[in-house]
Structure 1
């Protein structure tokens, strides 16, 4: 193997998710991931702190993108409309090419208590960041936290639908539909 391998991060990610699906998360080792990717374990650790990070790598970038979209929403936008802007911007992360990976990722996380906990922590951090961004726009409490938590609920429901086996709609389309449903529920 050469000192530099093209697309190593994506090769590790693909190898890991394949192995997680084939033999399970717990049984998959970094050495096995590296072997499947045709790279070394040492190279793996240049990209990921551990095998868990294969599933959560990029969370900070998603969070920052959503917070920036919320902050960039028009000044006259309501808290819910600003959250909607953040949710729609997240759609850039969820294209059809990523759907098979995301489906398997969801299955792997659902099967492991530690990974489910990590996912919940990630979502709690995202909610806190969105609430803070709303507060910076002048939305008071408890409204900022309530709007952020509602946004996370829409995010989770839309994502769960998007990774569904027979689902063909875009993430953004599902988010729009989910937001419309939420608005209808709140209006009643």
Structure 2
């Protein structure tokens, strides 16, 4: 493979997921990931500080999409409607590759406590991004936190429901249905 071939970041993620699945997270080295991806170790470290961060590769982009969707929601949108706009924006970027990697990522995370910690931090980061975007819309703090946490839960549930589907089925309807289910469930809390 050419030294400067495009897509190194994506190849590194794919290689890591494959190796984590084949031999486990702890047994996989950065050198093996780089070799499988057809890049050097220095290229790996230009993209990721360590192998643990591979599994959060798209977190910043996802946070940005969630925030943009919330920010651009209609002015009169409720906090959950704004979160729904963010979820729709973020989930619209996910396709067959995300569906293909999902089960393997889930298995790798479930098999390693360090990755479980990183995954939990990713969820905290997504909730924080949504909370900040809601606060910028003058949503009161406690309501912003609650709506953001429901958004994270809806994304996780919708993603899990979407994974077994086939073809070009979009993720957004699954995530929005999960958000609606959660919204309806909150009514029974009072």
Q: Where does residue 50 of structure 2 map in the other structure?
A: 50
Contact 2:79 2:144 in 1 (8 A): yes
Q: Please say if 1:162 is aligned against 2:167.
A: no
Q: Does 1:24 align with 2:24?
A: yes
Rounded Cα–Cα distance in structure 2 between residues aligned with 1:93 and 1:104 = 19
Partner of 1:120: 120
Give the Å deviation of 1:84. 0.6
Q: Which structure 2 residues correspond to residues 1-188 of structure 1 after superposition, within 5 A?
A: 2-163=2-163, 166-168=164-166, 169-188=169-188
Q: CA separation of 1:73/1:4 partners in 2, compared to 1, >3 Å: closer, same or farther?
A: same
Deviation at 1:161, TM superposition (A): 2.2
- For residues 7-64 of structure 1, give each alpha carbon's deviation from its aligned partner in whole angstroms, at most 9, with x where no partner exists: 2222222221111111111111111112222222122112211111221112111101
State how far apart, in whole Å, the 1-side matches of 2:64 and 2:183 are: 25
Return the alpha-carbon distance in structure 1 between the equivalents of residues 14 and 128 of structure 2.
Answer: 31
Distance in 1, matches of 2:97 and 2:114, equals 27
Deviation at 1:2, TM superposition (A): 4.8
Q: In structure 2, how many angstroms separate the alpha carbons of the residues matched to 1:176 and 1:61?
A: 19
Q: Work out the CA distance in 2 between the residues paired with 1:3 and 1:177.
A: 44
Secondary structure at the residue paired with 1:52? helix
Counterpart contact for 1:127–1:145, Cα < 8 Å: yes
Equivalenced residues, count:
186
- Cα deviation digits, residues 77-133 of structure 1 (max 9, x gap): 001100111111111232123211122112111211111111111111221221121
Measured on the aligned residues, the alpha-carbon RMSD in Å equals 1.7
TM-score (norm 1): 0.90
TM-score (structure 2 length as normaliser): 0.89
User: Which ranges in structure 1 are unaligned for 5 or more consecutive residues?
Assistant: none
